[in-house]
Structure 1
Amino acid sequence: MKKPIKFIIRSILILVILVTSYGLFIYISDPYIKALVQNNETKLFYRPTSEIEPLDDLNFSEQILIVEDSINIHTYLFHPSTKAKANIFLVRGNSGNTSQGKELIKPLVDNGFKVYSTDWRGYGKSNGVPTYKGLMKDTELAFADFLNRTKNDSIKIMVYGMSLGGLLAVKLTKENQTKVDALVLDGSLESAHSFITDNFRAFYLKSFTNNAQDYNQDYVAIRDIAEINNIPKLIIQSAKDRAVPFERGQNIFNAAKEPKLFWETNTDHIRTIPELTEELNLKLIELIR
């Protein structure tokens, strides 16, 4: 009788050791899981790069904005070759920098839109470390600069948010409803918490992802968009999006007030601009009419 009991105890101990070892291996080898456990928002949410790629084939002006005593951010205003159809304040996703996102900018510019893009703190040539509150501060200052630099254009103003940038785009539009003529969201996150639950689904991480209050609540797209009145909205969501589930886009659309339009696409995450350029151009023009 004692042998079976010893065998069971030994087996349980071995199982505990294996599970613990596996957990330690995952924790040490995966920087994002480590960031989740440590609640390190800088490593968890943001993927900045400082490598700058050439923008020689685009007509643009670059400007440095002083956000705080020690934080300077770089902004870019891209000019079309003809009279602009509208001014677009582009709020990109959490990876790379403006120069590395040229394929998201050039199609808009080639179709006659003036495009303003910001490299948040820690991105591109901008110094500092990206944080949730810091990105919002950078975006608000950049938007004020955008309005100032386009104030004499007498054309419509559009805020275009992609992925993580959708959170900031909604918050910015909500706070500037008399200054924004249209809002576009492409593969937007619902919230910081939705990013966590969508990207860390393993059962052993549930204790780190269950509580929404553990994550930032200052700007939540699905909540904030309900407070935007009368501004035309285009919500773009791909059925093939593996980074942001299709229902996230549907949820944001359902929470938004009219006028609004939902556009279901079939591309990878935030590939609407380079892959569906012609269709997008028509929808943007219709949106600002």
Structure 2
Amino acid sequence: MAFKFASSRFVQFIRRRAVSIAAASSLLSVLAAAGCGQLAHKERELTFRVEPGTASWYSGLPDGVVESNLVVQSDGKSQNLHTWWWPAEKKDAPAVLYLHGARWNLTGQLFRIQQLHDFGFSVLAVDYRGFGKSDGDLPSERTVYEDAQIAWQHLATLQPDAGKRFIYGHSLGGAVAIDLAAHLAGSADGSTGKAARTEQSMPPAAKGLIVESSFTSLADIARSLTYPWLPLQLLLSQKFDSVGKISRVGMPVLIVHGSSDRYVPSRFSEKLYEAAGGKKKLILVEGGTHNNSMRLGATEYRQAFEELFGLAPDPA
């Protein structure tokens, strides 16, 4: 009863003070280590913070967006992944897979998807299982990695030219994007890569990876918000160890972060940049927050597309 009461009060505190989910996960993990058998489930709830229904600011799909479902085979049953496909006006435009972060489904992501489309990209956006109109209940690190790989296979049919395919991830979606890119390079760690493989071989690697407002690992950001000495990497079941994977990504990497991000400090993106190998670029958007760096840094984004990827997308 004591743990139930403490965890209930803690969740209320998180909601009231808008504390990062990473901090919530870490503290609940410490409590759980003292005897709670529901650690994994509670940690996943707090990590993904799924908001059901439609975002309050969503005003409907723009003309040209096609909704569809992809089938995922998991644990002997079929489940649907809900997607949006928004082709660019230019027939053979570069295409990007959009991987969102925690809490909001696709209806809460449209403003960023619109910005990518305005850059000239065709955009495939996917709701992980447990989000929006996709099947499933509570997501996990394993299932979101699986979903990204299934969506990537679909993007390869929509844009067959590997030199015109990109991966974009925002916040927690940045960790999913890094895992996908490492997996495409054949170097995802066994705990995620092996579980997510399908009988069909994966398509060739993308032209580039774009990661915005993300972090090094869930344990790192949790430590930054609680106590640095806590052995959170041992307590958390959801690792999202981007810093351990990004050096194995076999494509150019663009990392973007707002200097005024109150939720995920920009130093985490600086550490990701340092760990990345090969061709790479870091953009720190002056005054950018967790959600508006693409809009404020639009000019820097366009310059990076040309400098890093040799690509200058035409406006839609």
- Per the normalisation by structure 2, the TM-score is 0.74
8 Å CA contact retained: 1:91, 1:162: yes
Deviations 1:54-88 (A, max 9, x none): 44324121111222325322011111223454111
1:184 matched to 2:186? The reply is no
- Alignment partner of 1:276 out of 289, 293, 297: 297
SS of structure 2 residue aligned to 1:99: helix
Alpha carbons of 1:56 and 1:29: their partners in 2 closer, same or farther (altered >3 Å)?
closer
Superposed displacement of residue 148, structure 1: 2.0
Q: Name the aligned partner's letter for residue 134 of structure 1.
A: T
Q: Which residue of 2 aligns with 1:194?
A: 220
Alpha carbons of 1:235 and 1:268: their partners in 2 closer, same or farther (altered >3 Å)?
same
Q: Name the aligned partner's letter for residue 131 of structure 1.
A: S
8 Å CA contact retained: 1:74, 1:126: yes
Q: Which residue of 2 aligns with 1:51?
A: 53
Q: Distance in 2 between matches of 1:150 and 1:76?
A: 15
Higher Rg of the two aligned structures: 1
Superposed displacement of residue 136, structure 1: 1.1
Identity %: 22
1:61 matched to 2:66? The reply is yes
Deviations 1:132-156 (A, max 9, x none): 21111111111111112222x5751
Q: Which residue of 2 aligns with 1:212?
A: 233
Alpha carbons of 1:84 and 1:216: their partners in 2 closer, same or farther (altered >3 Å)?
farther
SS of structure 2 residue aligned to 1:261: strand
Superposed displacement of residue 124, structure 1: 0.9
Please give the root-mean-square deviation of Cα atoms over the aligned residues, in Å: 2.7
8 Å CA contact retained: 1:64, 1:74: yes
Report the more deviating stretch, 132-141 or 270-279: 270-279
- Alignment partner of 2:271 out of 214, 232, 251: 251
Q: Which residue of 1 aligns with 2:252?
A: 232
8 Å CA contact retained: 2:217, 2:239: no
Alpha carbons of 1:44 and 1:25: their partners in 2 closer, same or farther (altered >3 Å)?
closer
Superposed displacement of residue 220, structure 1: 1.4
Superposed displacement of residue 108, structure 1: 1.4
Q: Distance in 1 between matches of 2:275 and 2:169?
A: 17
Superposed displacement of residue 252, structure 1: 0.6
Q: Which runs of 5+ in 2 are unaligned?
A: 15-20, 33-38, 186-203, 311-316
Alpha carbons of 1:147 and 1:55: their partners in 2 closer, same or farther (altered >3 Å)?
farther
Q: Which runs of 5+ in 1 are unaligned?
A: 1-19
8 Å CA contact retained: 1:237, 1:249: yes
Alpha carbons of 1:288 and 1:55: their partners in 2 closer, same or farther (altered >3 Å)?
farther
8 Å CA contact retained: 2:128, 2:144: yes
SS of structure 2 residue aligned to 1:137: helix
Q: Which residue of 1 aligns with 2:174?
A: 166
Q: Distance in 1 between matches of 2:272 and 2:217?
A: 10
Greater helix content: 1
Q: Which residue of 2 aligns with 1:4?
A: none
8 Å CA contact retained: 1:49, 1:96: yes
Q: Distance in 2 between matches of 1:28 and 1:144?
A: 38
8 Å CA contact retained: 2:128, 2:139: yes
Q: Distance in 1 between matches of 2:158 and 2:146?
A: 19
Q: Which residue of 2 aligns with 1:260?
A: 280
Superposed displacement of residue 105, structure 1: 0.7
Q: Which residue of 1 aligns with 2:192?
A: none
Alpha carbons of 1:98 and 1:84: their partners in 2 closer, same or farther (altered >3 Å)?
farther
Q: Which residue of 2 aligns with 1:135?
A: 144
8 Å CA contact retained: 1:61, 1:76: yes
